[in-house]
Structure 1
Amino acid sequence: MLDLYHAVAGEEEEEEAVSRPVLTGLSTQSPPPGSVVSRADTVVSLVNMVEQDRDTSSPKPYWKEFRFDLAQVPVGESVTAAEFRIYKARGVSRHSNSTLHVSIYEIAAEHANRESDLFLLDAQQLRAGTEGWLVFDITAASSHWLVERKYNLGLRLYVETDNGLSVEPGSVGLLGRRGPRSKQPFMVTFFRASASPVRATRAAKAPRRRQPKKSNDLPHHNKLPGIFDDVHTADGRQVCRRHELYVSFQDLGWLDWVIAPQGYSAYYCEGECAFPLDSCMNATNHAILQSLVHLMKPEAVPKACCAPTKLSATSVLYYDSNNNVILKKHRNMVVKSCGCH
Structure 2
Amino acid sequence: MNISQEEYETKYNEYLTRVRERRKRELLEDYTFEYLEEVLNPVTLYSIKHNFSETKLYQMKHEENGSMRRRKRSPLSNNDAVYVRFPIEFDSAEMPDDVEEAVLRLLLSAKDVPPQQQQRHSYPHQHQRFHRNLSHDGRLTLNGAVTVKVYQLIEPYGRVWLASRTIEFDNINEPISSRWIELDVSKAVNGWLLSKQSNLGLEIVCDNCHQYNMYIMEDYSANSEPDFSPVLNIVGRFGMHREKRSRQHHHFMQASRRKPRKTDCVQENNKCCRHKMEVVFSEIKGYDFIIQPKTFDAGYCRGRCPPRYNPAHQHAFFQSLIWKQDKTKVPRPCCAPSKLAELEVLHVDEKNKNKLQVSTWKDMRVQECACS
Say whether the fold is shared (TM-score over 0.5): no
Bigger relative CO (Cα 8 Å, ≥ 6 apart):
2
User: Max radius of gyration: which structure?
Assistant: 1
Question: What's the TM-score once normalised by structure 1's chain length?
Answer: 0.42
Question: What's the TM-score once normalised by structure 2's chain length?
Answer: 0.39
